[in-house]
Structure 1
Amino acid sequence: MLKRGSTIGVFGGGQLGRMMAAAAAPLGYRCIGYAPEGDNVAALLCSDFVTAEWDDEAALADFASRCDVVTWEFENVPVATARAIPQGGIFPPPAALETAQDRLNEKRFVEVLGGRTAPYVPVDSRADLDAALDTIGLPAILKTRRDGYDGKGQWRIHSADDAAIDLPAAPTILEGFVTFEAEFSIVLVRGQDGEMRVWDSTRNIHEDGVLSASQFPAGPQIEAQVDEARALAKKVAQKLGYVGVLTLEFFATDDGPVFNEMAPRVHNSGHWTIEGAATSQFENHIRAVAGLPLGNTRTVAKAVEMRNILGSDIESAHALLDDGDTHLHDYGKSDIREGRKMGHVTRLARR
């Protein structure tokens, strides 16, 4: 258990790191961030921030020496960087990054644990793509195996004309389309002692590949599939020896929950927990990596909606505060781009 005044290092400088730092302070901890040059908004709330490349051995060694434990706020931290931190000094374990960073490995990992996935075929060449389309059929979606988020690194293929694309240099995977009624997430936290707690699931609404809103209650179809999805998420956490917040995304289908992807970190679909749950995903992540008892994850409102604020809409976001029990989170990003997550707003209907 980390003593009062300890330092938690955070790989990454985005809004998730910012919200981790905000959650750590009331528990008596300080955060130091580490990331390459960029719009590192976490620096505004961290006690200090190291701007250096992921492979800067001297900077990493100095950073590690200043931290009592290290975590991360996004899943594209290089595995080698995470492994540079001595074992037992970083949570979640780097194996979680290694699994989640490759979509092919991720799906195979989940299948071994009994999870249901979309049909998929690895693609490394034009011949592979042609054969994969024969196997999967249309429509399908081609994705880079690594990197890519919020709809990036993805190509929807509805016809032979759509398949006439320039393949990226990186390995890809072709997935069959899943017919689904809704999307939802399982957001859980696992402590160092193996205890696991799970938040209520929301209905996740996406627009152009980006999460637009998360709504609770999620509706009867999702509610009927949550237990099966939770069971799989717990198997994943157990197998990885996970510590911290872990998120698995699912499609709710007529055949039950279909696994989409996992995020070994706090997650956009869990932002509603800041005001909507007894303990937020950010506080419980800090509790887990610090070795503290986990907090209660019960929902404290009868209805919750979280909506992302994209691009220039952040300029008028304060007007949203006129609407009842509403909470605004401006991430403080200076680089405003259309489609970029600039903040979120959460509305609650109290019990």
Structure 2
Amino acid sequence: MDLHTQLPVVGMVGGGQLARMTHQAAIALGQSLRLLAASPADSAAVVAPAVRIGSHEDLEALRAFAKDCDVVTFDHEHVPNAHLETLAAEGAVVRPSAATLVYAQDKAAMRRRLGELGLPMPRWANVSTVADIERFGTPCVVKTATGGYDGKGVFMIDDAAQAAELVAAGVPLIAEERVRLRRELAVQVARSARGETAVYPVVETVQRDGICTEVIAPAPDLPSEVADAARAIAERVASALDVQGMLAVELFDTDDGPLINELAMRPHNSGHWTIEGARTSQFEQHLRAVLDYPLGETQPTAPITVMANVLGGEPGGSRLDERLQRLLAEDPGARVHLYGKDVRPGRKIGHVTVLGDDLAELRRRAGRAAAWLRDGNPEGLHK
């Protein structure tokens, strides 16, 4: 308990943009959010007042951090599971727990558990040799079982021989069938320690080169039975895995219904639209859930919300501040979130959200805003 605010202290392991936006949500709730960041230059560390610098892989750093927190949560899934078990055994409240988080850390463990639950997903198998992949069948998708994100650790394999170098690296792998899909969907659901759940509308996510570039909420032209099935899947996963906090369920929209692709047990890029586009943002909802507070309403605030990620562009051109000012003058309704990160080509450095009722116009506005902030091309701003 923070003696100044008389409110619980939430500790978030990680100092990226998810922690930064969670810190913003914590301010409104009067919460004392503390961060364990790898560097004082991390996205959240440059704006939050209570930051401890340390590695999420260092048990002693985690112990020192957790002892001053009422509850510990995460902005990524990369904390060693054994460390989380140790913290809990020593009395720390960890949400989600190590036993739950493993299903977001290890794709093989996730697939096994989802199979036990009878939930829909692509055909899959553990593989460790080229022969295993040949037996599984190609074309297929080969994934590293741990450590992948934003398309990293995901390989499209047309011939098993293509995986020889990957297999030789000796990392745990799984193979999944390459499913025919109409598009990709996602559902965010919050679940508190007492078991209360709150589900957001199903959204469409647009991927390019393995990175989400655009989110449309709600997913356009989605039949109600598909939306209901997707939301039911998300609630079932949250309950069966005892999730405490935000859960993002990424799905493939197929002719046979939605199939589970990935899980994330934290705020997620596909939920950034909720800051302006829903009654309760995913960041506030995560705080409520891990504190076991009553959950907030998830209804949209506009008929349609479109979020476009801002990726880093090539060096040169006008300064980012100049681009921001120009964008705000050209499109005062665009809501810009910049993460304070060093710009590198392809790196997520922010996002832009627009709200309204004309899908084509919103996609045009969001896309041109993101492109302008990336490239500083004045012509792109007027397209």
Q: CA deviation at 1:244?
A: 1.0
Distance, in Å, in 2 between the alignment partners of 1:246 and 1:153 is: 21
Q: CA deviation at 1:25?
A: 1.2
2:333 to 322, 325, 345: 325
Q: CA deviation at 1:55?
A: 4.3
Matched, 1:348 2:355: yes
Match of 2:29 in 1: 27
Matched, 1:58 2:66: no
Letter of the structure 1 residue corresponding to residue 303 of structure 2: K
Q: CA deviation at 1:59?
A: 2.6
Matched, 1:100 2:104: yes
Matched, 1:117 2:121: yes
Distance, in Å, in 1 between the alignment partners of 2:41 and 2:223 is: 36
Confirm or deny: 8 A CA contact 2:57 2:79 kept in the other structure.
no
Greater mean alpha carbon deviation, residues 187-196 or residues 161-170:
161-170
Q: CA deviation at 1:194?
A: 1.0
Secondary structure of the residue that 2:280 maps to in structure 1? Answer: coil
Distance, in Å, in 1 between the alignment partners of 2:61 and 2:184 is: 41
Q: CA deviation at 1:166?
A: 4.0
Q: CA deviation at 1:163?
A: 4.4
Match of 1:244 in 2: 245
5+ residue gaps, structure 2, are 359-383
Confirm or deny: 8 A CA contact 1:22 1:45 kept in the other structure.
no
Confirm or deny: 8 A CA contact 2:139 2:157 kept in the other structure.
yes
Secondary structure of the residue that 2:262 maps to in structure 1? Answer: strand
Confirm or deny: 8 A CA contact 2:12 2:74 kept in the other structure.
yes
5+ residue gaps, structure 1, are none
Match of 1:213 in 2: 214
TM-score, normalisation: structure 1: 0.92
Confirm or deny: 8 A CA contact 1:206 1:212 kept in the other structure.
yes
Letter of the structure 2 residue corresponding to residue 18 of structure 1: R
Matches within 5 A, 1:118-267: 118-133=122-137, 138-159=138-159, 162-167=162-167, 168-221=169-222, 223-267=224-268
Distance, in Å, in 2 between the alignment partners of 1:109 and 1:20 is: 29
Secondary structure of the residue that 1:300 maps to in structure 2? Answer: coil
TM-score, normalisation: structure 2: 0.84
Greater mean alpha carbon deviation, residues 322-331 or residues 254-263:
322-331
Aligned CA-pair RMSD: 2.2
State the Cα deviation string for residues 233-292 of structure 1 (Å, max 9, x = none).
212211222211111110111100011010011110000000000000000111111222
Confirm or deny: 8 A CA contact 1:202 1:217 kept in the other structure.
yes
Secondary structure of the residue that 1:221 maps to in structure 2? Answer: coil
Q: CA deviation at 1:160?
A: 5.5
Confirm or deny: 8 A CA contact 2:120 2:258 kept in the other structure.
yes
Match of 2:49 in 1: 47
State the Cα deviation string for residues 188-244 of structure 1 (Å, max 9, x = none).
011222111111111110000000100123123364312112222212211222211
Change (3 A) 1:274 1:170: same
Distance, in Å, in 2 between the alignment partners of 1:102 and 1:238 is: 19
Distance, in Å, in 2 between the alignment partners of 1:320 and 1:83 is: 47
Q: CA deviation at 1:181?
A: 0.6
Distance, in Å, in 2 between the alignment partners of 1:282 and 1:72 is: 12
Distance, in Å, in 1 between the alignment partners of 2:27 and 2:338 is: 19
State the Cα deviation string for residues 285-306 of structure 1 (Å, max 9, x = none).
1111122211111001011100
Confirm or deny: 8 A CA contact 2:309 2:351 kept in the other structure.
yes
Distance, in Å, in 1 between the alignment partners of 2:279 and 2:177 is: 39
Change (3 A) 1:300 1:48: same
Q: CA deviation at 1:130?
A: 2.7
Change (3 A) 1:105 1:24: same
Confirm or deny: 8 A CA contact 2:187 2:199 kept in the other structure.
yes
Match of 1:81 in 2: 83
Secondary structure of the residue that 1:342 maps to in structure 2? Answer: strand
Change (3 A) 1:222 1:245: farther
Letter of the structure 1 residue corresponding to residue 183 of structure 2: A
Change (3 A) 1:346 1:33: same
State the Cα deviation string for residues 292-345 of structure 1 (Å, max 9, x = none).
2111110010111000000138933554333252100000012x2111111000
Distance, in Å, in 2 between the alignment partners of 1:230 and 1:320 is: 36
Distance, in Å, in 1 between the alignment partners of 2:29 and 2:160 is: 56
Distance, in Å, in 2 between the alignment partners of 1:139 and 1:264 is: 30
Confirm or deny: 8 A CA contact 1:101 1:147 kept in the other structure.
yes
Confirm or deny: 8 A CA contact 1:30 1:47 kept in the other structure.
no
Q: Which has the higher contact order (CA 8 A, sep 6+)?
A: 1
Distance, in Å, in 2 between the alignment partners of 1:222 and 1:150 is: 28
Confirm or deny: 8 A CA contact 1:249 1:261 kept in the other structure.
yes
Confirm or deny: 8 A CA contact 2:130 2:161 kept in the other structure.
no
Matched, 1:338 2:342: no
Pairs aligned (count): 346
Confirm or deny: 8 A CA contact 2:199 2:235 kept in the other structure.
no
Change (3 A) 1:276 1:130: same
Secondary structure of the residue that 1:162 maps to in structure 2? Answer: helix
